[in-house]
A = this chain, B = another copy of it.
Amino acid sequence: MARSTHSQKTTAKRTQARGEAFAQAVLNITLLQLAELGFERLSIPAVAQLAQVNKTSIYRRWPTKADLVRDALSLALGPSADAAPDTGSFRGDLLALARTAAALMQSPVGKALMRITLSESAHPELQALALAAQAKASAHAPVVVLMRAVQRGEIRAGVDPALILFTLAGTILHKVFVEHAPVSETFLEQAVDVVLNGASSNL
């Protein structure tokens, strides 16, 4: 057991690397297809064809479409979700969060999540999955940013801190999914400023 030769180790490593490359390719194609077609029209044979792999290899690793989609979403939302920006000001931190949210919403995974989120009646288990993925994506960093702002006294009394984030996220959501317009840096700054400073001249 402990006495594997050098070449056995190398072979094992190569197999593992091939396995990883295979999984990455399949999961990336899955994500793109999910964003393009939605869960219902996503087909494992089509994913296999686009990823240029054998469909039985996919079924061996992911017995159902839901298994495949779960892993694709986990992979896409995996890293980088946890870094809380720390620019020194609430405005700077909100802008950083807004950039991250805009990038996510404009990516295939963001679109895939929105499609799944909207089809909950048809797929309750996938809906739960998408909500969990969204919660994961929006959990740590925004909470850290809000807590810092509360501690610095940067949030107006009577304002629900969560509402600040949802207002900002919603504004970007509207731009991407309702207006279907590109998100510019100027737009993000204007949105942050409206949320922070308000739109009323009566102050």
Contacts and interface: CB of A to CB of B under 8 A. Distances in A.
Contacts of A179: 166
A131 interface: yes
Interface residue SS majority, chain A: helix
A200 interface: yes
A175 B69 CA distance: 25
Interface in A164-179: 164, 166-167, 169-175, 177-179
A134 B195 contact: no
Given A154-B202, A200-B90, A118 B111 contact: yes
Interface residues of A, number: 53
A9 to B, nearest CB: 46
A157 B201 contact: yes
A151 interface: no
A154 B201 contact: yes
Contacts of A173: 170, 173-174, 177-178
A178 B40 contact: no
A154 B202 CA distance: 7
Q: Which 4 A-B pairs have the closest CB atoms?
A: A198-B198, A170-B170, A170-B174, A170-B171
